[in-house]
Every structure is written in structure tokens, then in C-alpha cells.
């Protein structure tokens, strides 16, 4: 009965029932009424077959629940409620049959062998009298049964129930029939009343079948139809490091190739239905990708299935190193760049032996201690909750080389320059200079030193050397005076330059020959 349509047999029985009522109203003979005993017997057989069919439905439901309790339990429980309501109403109608026949035939009454079939007082007493009033109780019970089943399966699916459980006053009823129960049972012989009640029992069982069939359909109503299944491996990361764990989910992906879902990413609908997404990585760091898939269901509704993931964008890098030049200088900050492909900076850490290693912004600063002793930088990376050593890089520790002394000056264009001797030097620049400086500036290192003192050696007309001491790193007044007396082509020497660098080591630097121009 899942289709909601009556069978030809049911239609025939209903037609016979209508003709039967018309004949009863015409006070037909008992022989005709005896013939309608066959109608009641036929209805009873129909009820038996309907109950057997319903029992098969309940057995199927039981199997569904055992195989997939999470999916079927809700609908199975509702089906059991339908069974309880149907059995209760069916039994109530059986009770009414017995009461009517007992009222007509006495204590030895047998519903299947009625003696006083033409008695209409018994039906009136049980169904219509103020004392008993079972007709109204039956109508209320049928109405409650119809509403209960409709609430379980929904109004749209409950259309067929109204045909089986209609308690409106039938058409062509007597003009004095103001209620359903009076139209159905008032002044009706016992034989007719039992046939009517048996038909109502048939309607109860047919409505039960309709409801249970509808609930069974609901078990799979939320399932998605698929016709293509593929296997996919979804890794937790597409970049791992040696020593860390590789993890992935291996899943079945099922789709309906005839009805592709719509995919929305970051609020925008994906133009293709294959799920292929591509975007240009314009910024570094952790990027998020979130959205939902709009999935059509068999019942016409749609469900949004959300997803959320992330990926890492890093600057393109390549490391080229000269193993012969793995050198650090003691006493100064040595800038170090550390990166691990596929691992964000936040998931990296590093340490150093024979010195200290400090993170500064996007880089690191190494400061070794002892000269001649190797320093090793150890890099670790966190992946999948596990810390793994990814590099142990050794560096030789050397002392800073000696700086070069020079005279700082500014040329005619205002450009700062360094005079390191060996070439003619304009006297005007020399006179304006403040003193001597020292630094390592060989394009590899750029380390300033502090000059402590120096000596300038001049020569008189006889060739005698005249030394003059400085005032720290500045020219002394005697040195300045000697510079002013120099003429073009004369030479003097700056020697015994003492300087100290950031490593705290004091050094005596090389001599500068100054040629006055």
C-alpha cells in the first residue's frame, strides 16, 4: 500500500459495502443479509493478508536496525509506535463487535456465528445510546490514529491515510444523520454493523502499512546517490622531514557523475564541478582555505557540508655554501640565516656550541667564544608534534684580522672617503682631518676599531726624524703644526697605531706613508 492507491479488490469491497447499506435501508430480507456474511468473511481474509504483509515490513525494519542501528533506529522506533497504535485500535474494534453480538445473542454469543443478524437494537444500544456511546469513542479513536500517523510521516505523505481513516459524514447518508457514527451505525442490523467494523479494521491495517512503508523509505531518504567511487589518499602534510612521521587518511570518495554538487570557497562559487581549485600564492605564511559543498539530496533538499584546511607558503630558497669558508669570528655578531624547506620559521629552533645563538627577526646572530675551537649550530624542526634534528653544521672560529688605519676626510663633492697612504694626498684635506681611524672594510667584514694612540714621524731639512705623539685618536696640536709646515712632495709616516676592536684585543697596526700634494 506504499503507493497510496486502493487495489481493485478493495474498491470492489467498498462498492459492495455501499450497495449493502442501501439495501439495509430498504429493509431487505434476511436471505439477502445472509449473503453479505460473505462480504464480512472476505474482509476478514483481507485483514489477515494485510497483517501478514505488515509483519514482513516489520521484519525488514528489524534487519535494517540490526545492520545499521545508527541509521535505522529512529525510524524503527516510530514504526513500533505505529504498530502499538494500530493493534490498540484494532483490538478496540474487536471489543465493539463482541459487545454488539453479545447484546443481540446473549452470553453464548459468537462473532463468527451470529444468531440474530437482523437485530438493530443491539447496534443502537452499543454504538448510539447515551449510556454506551461507543460510536463517538470509535470516531475519536480513528481521528487520533490518523493524526498520530500523519505526524510521524508528514502531511505530504499522509494523503493516503485520509482515504482509509476518513470520519466525515458519507455522501448520500440519511438526512437525519448529523454525525459520522449515526450515518454508520444508527438502526443498522447486527450483521451490517459487524461488516462495517470489519471494514474499519481493514482500513486500520492498510493505514498501518502505508505509514510503515513511508517510514522505511525515510531510512534511506537522507542518503546521497552515487555512481562513481574512487580511492584517495589525503596526507596531513605534503612536505615532511627525515625522522618525522608521515600520516594520511585513505578514504573512498563517492560521487553522482550525473548531478555534480556546487562548491563554494571563501564565499565564491567554484566555476568547475570537478572540485579542482587553483590560486596564486602571493603572500608567505600559513594560508587558510574554507568553504562548503552544496549537496542535493534525493528528497529535493540541499545540505551544506563545510570544509576547512590550511597550507604553508614560503619564499623560494636555494642554499649554496662553500664548505671551505665555514668561518665565524670571535668577539663579534655573526649574522646567520637558517631555513628548513617545508617547515615554517615558528616550527624551527637552533642552538650553538662554543658561543651563543640568538634569534633576531627573521634571522639569527651567532657569537662564538674561543678562537681555534669549532662551533656547531644544531637545527631542530617540529613536525607532527615531534622535534627532529635536521642539521649539525660546524664552523671554524677565527680571531678578527687586523684592521687598516686610515685618515677620514670629505672631498670637494661632500663624499666621505678614506686615505690609506701610498698616494699623493691634498694638503687641504689633510689639514681639515681630525685624526686617525681604523676598521676592517674588505666587503666581507665591516668592523670598526677604536684607535688608542699613534705616532707621526716628520723629517727636517737635514733628514733627521722628528716623532710627534697623538692625542688619542686625534691629531695633537704639535702634529697639526707640523702638517701645516709641510710643502708639496714632502712625506711623513704614521706609525705605532694602537687600536682595540669589539673583541677587546689591542693591536698595533701597520704604518701609513703620507705624500703631501
What is the C-alpha to C-alpha distance for residues 160 and 138, in angstroms, rounded to an integer? 20
More reliable by pLDDT, 295 or 11: 295
**Domain annotation covers residue 415:** yes
Would you mind telling me the total number of residues written for the chain in this entry?
A: 517
Cell of 210: 502505508
pLDDT tens string 200-225: 999 999 999 888 988 888 776 555 55
**Domain annotation covers residue 466:** yes
What is the C-alpha to C-alpha distance for residues 54 and 51, in angstroms, rounded to an integer? 5
Co-location of 89 and 194 in the same domain: yes
Cβ(258)–Cβ(227) below 8 Å:
yes
CATH number of the domain at 381, please. Answer: 2.60.40.10
The last residue of one of the domains, among 313, 338, 372, is 313
3-class SS of residue 311: strand
Q: What band does 2 get if pLDDT is binned at 50, 70 and 90? A: very low
Q: Which helix (H) or strand (E) holds 30?
A: helix 30-35
Co-location of 22 and 138 in the same domain: yes
DSSP code at position 396: E
**Domain annotation covers residue 3:** no
Segment 287-309 shows an average pLDDT of 78
The number of distinct structural domains making up the chain is 4
DSSP code at position 170: P
Cβ(92)–Cβ(126) below 8 Å:
no
Helix, strand, coil proportions of the chain in percent (round to 5)? 35, 30, 35
DSSP code at position 471: B
Segment 241-268 shows an average pLDDT of 71
Residue 416 belongs to domain spanning: 404-516
pLDDT tens string 416-461: 999 999 999 999 999 999 999 999 987 778 899 999 999 999 999 8
Co-location of 32 and 175 in the same domain: yes
What is the C-alpha to C-alpha distance for residues 440 and 404, in angstroms, rounded to an integer? 6
- How are strands ordered across the β-sheet holding 386-398? 327-329, 386-398, 375-383, 348-352
Q: What is the pLDDT of residue 426?
A: 94
What is the C-alpha to C-alpha distance for residues 39 and 102, in angstroms, rounded to an integer? 21
Q: Where are the beta strands (DSSP E) in 147-275?
A: 228-235, 248-255, 262-265, 268-269
- Asked if residue 3 has pLDDT above 50, the reply is no
pLDDT tens string 22-56: 555 445 455 555 555 667 777 778 888 888 888 98
- The radius of gyration of the chain's CA atoms, rounded to the nearest angstrom, is 53
The last residue of one of the domains, among 264, 282, 313, is 313
CA neighbor of 5 nearest in space, from 147, 209, 220: 209
What is the share, in percent, of the chain residues with pLDDT greater than 90? Answer: 37
Q: What values do phi and psi take at 65, rounded to 5?
A: -65, -40
Co-location of 68 and 184 in the same domain: yes
Co-location of 308 and 283 in the same domain: yes
Co-location of 391 and 303 in the same domain: no
Co-location of 275 and 328 in the same domain: no
Co-location of 247 and 297 in the same domain: yes
Q: What is the pLDDT of residue 7?
A: 55
What is the share, in percent, of the chain residues with pLDDT greater than 70? Answer: 80
Mean pLDDT of the chain: 83
**Domain annotation covers residue 186:** yes
pLDDT tens string 342-366: 777 888 899 999 999 999 888 899 9
Segment 89-115 shows an average pLDDT of 90
Co-location of 177 and 68 in the same domain: yes
Co-location of 58 and 143 in the same domain: yes
3-class SS of residue 152: helix
What is the C-alpha to C-alpha distance for residues 298 and 300, in angstroms, rounded to an integer? 5
The last residue of one of the domains, among 377, 398, 419, is 398
Cβ(470)–Cβ(479) below 8 Å:
yes
Q: Could you give the maximum distance between any two Cα atoms of the chain, in Å?
A: 172
What is the C-alpha to C-alpha distance for residues 510 and 490, in angstroms, rounded to an integer? 20
Neighbours of 125 (CB within 10 A): 17
**Domain annotation covers residue 61:** yes
More reliable by pLDDT, 484 or 322: 484
What is the C-alpha to C-alpha distance for residues 292 and 273, in angstroms, rounded to an integer? 13
**Domain annotation covers residue 440:** yes
Co-location of 55 and 166 in the same domain: yes
pLDDT tens string 388-410: 888 899 999 999 999 999 999 99
**Domain annotation covers residue 143:** yes
More reliable by pLDDT, 189 or 23: 189
What is the C-alpha to C-alpha distance for residues 387 and 383, in angstroms, rounded to an integer? 6
**Domain annotation covers residue 318:** no
Instruction: Tell me the pairing of strands 424-425 and 465-469.
Output: unpaired
Co-location of 29 and 145 in the same domain: yes
Amino acid at each position: 500500500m506504499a503507493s497510496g492507491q486502493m487495489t481493485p479488490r478493495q474498491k470492489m469491497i467498498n462498492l459492495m459495502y455501499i450497495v449493502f447499506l442501501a439495501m439495509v435501508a430498504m429493509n431487505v430480507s434476511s436471505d439477502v443479509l445472509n449473503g453479505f456474511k460473505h462480504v464480512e468473511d472476505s474482509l476478514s481474509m483481507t485483514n489477515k493478508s494485510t497483517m501478514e504483509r505488515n509483519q514482513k515490513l516489520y521484519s525488514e525494519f528489524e534487519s535494517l536496525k540490526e545492520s545499521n542501528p545508527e541509521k535505522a533506529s529512529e525510524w524503527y522506533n516510530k514504526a513500533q509506535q505505529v504498530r502499538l497504535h494500530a493493534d490498540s485500535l484494532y483490538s478496540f474494534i474487536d471489543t465493539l463487535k463482541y459487545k454488539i453480538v453479545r447484546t443481540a445473542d446473549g452470553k453464548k454469543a459468537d462473532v463468527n456465528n451470529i444468531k440474530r443478524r437482523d437485530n438493530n437494537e443491539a447496534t443502537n444500544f452499543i454504538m448510539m445510546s447515551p449510556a454506551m456511546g461507543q460510536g463517538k469513542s470509535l470516531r475519536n479513536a480513528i481521528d487520533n490514529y490518523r493524526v498520530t500517523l500523519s505526524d510521524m510521516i508528514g502531511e505530504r505523505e499522509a494523503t493516503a491515510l485520509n482515504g482509509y481513516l476518513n470520519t466525515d459524514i458519507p455522501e448520500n447518508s440519511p438526512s437525519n444523520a448529523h454525525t459520522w457514527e449515526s450515518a454508520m451505525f444508527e438502526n443498522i442490523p447486527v450483521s451490517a454493523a459487524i461488516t462495517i467494523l470489519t471494514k474499519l479494521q481493514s482500513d486500520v491495517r492498510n493505514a498501518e502499512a502505508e505509514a510503515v512503508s513511508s517510514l522505511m523509505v525515510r531510512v534511506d531518504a537522507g542518503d546521497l546517490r552515487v555512481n562513481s567511487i574512487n580511492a584517495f589518499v589525503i596526507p596531513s602534510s605534503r612536505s615532511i622531514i627525515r625522522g618525522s612521521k608521515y600520516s594520511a587518511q585513505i578514504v573512498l570518495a563517492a560521487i553522482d557523475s550525473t548531478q555534480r554538487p556546487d562548491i563554494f570557497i571563501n564565499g565564491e562559487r567554484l566555476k568547475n564541478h570537478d572540485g579542482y581549485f587553483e590560486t596564486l600564492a602571493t603572500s608567505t605564511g600559513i594560508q587558510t582555505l574554507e568553504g562548503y559543498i552544496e549537496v542535493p539530496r534525493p528528497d529535493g533538499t540541499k545540505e551544506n557540508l563545510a570544509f576547512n584546511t590550511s597550507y604553508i607558503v614560503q619564499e623560494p630558497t636555494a642554499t649554496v655554501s662553500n664548505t671551505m669558508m665555514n668561518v665565524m669570528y670571535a668577539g663579534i655578531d655573526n649574522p646567520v640565516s637558517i631555513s628548513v624547506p617545508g617547515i615554517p620559521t615558528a616550527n624551527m629552533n637552533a642552538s650553538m656550541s662554543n658561543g651563543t645563538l640568538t634569534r633576531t627577526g627573521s634571522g639569527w646572530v651567532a657569537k662564538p667564544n674561543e678562537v681555534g675551537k669549532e662551533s656547531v649550530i644544531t637545527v631542530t624542526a617540529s613536525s607532527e608534534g615531534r622535534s627532529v634534528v635536521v642539521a649539525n653544521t660546524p664552523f671554524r672560529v677565527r680571531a678578527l684580522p687586523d684592521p687598516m688605519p686610515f685618515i677620514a676626510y670629505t672631498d670637494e663633492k661632500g663624499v666621505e672617503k678614506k686615505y690609506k697612504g701610498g698616494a699623493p694626498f691634498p694638503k687641504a684635506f689633510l689639514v681639515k682631518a681630525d685624526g686617525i681611524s681604523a676598521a676592517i672594510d674588505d666587503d666581507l667584514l665591516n668592523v670598526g676599531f677604536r684607535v688608542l694612540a699613534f705616532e707621526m714621524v716628520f723629517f727636517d731639512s737635514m733628514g733627521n726624524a722628528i716623532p710627534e705623539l697623538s692625542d688619542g685618536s686625534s691629531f695633537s696640536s704639535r702634529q697639526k703644526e707640523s702638517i701645516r709646515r709641510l710643502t708639496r712632495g714632502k712625506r711623513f709616516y704614521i706609525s705605532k697605531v694602537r687600536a682595540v676592536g669589539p673583541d677587546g684585543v689591542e693591536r698595533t697596526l701597520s704604518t701609513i706613508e703620507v705624500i703631501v700634494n
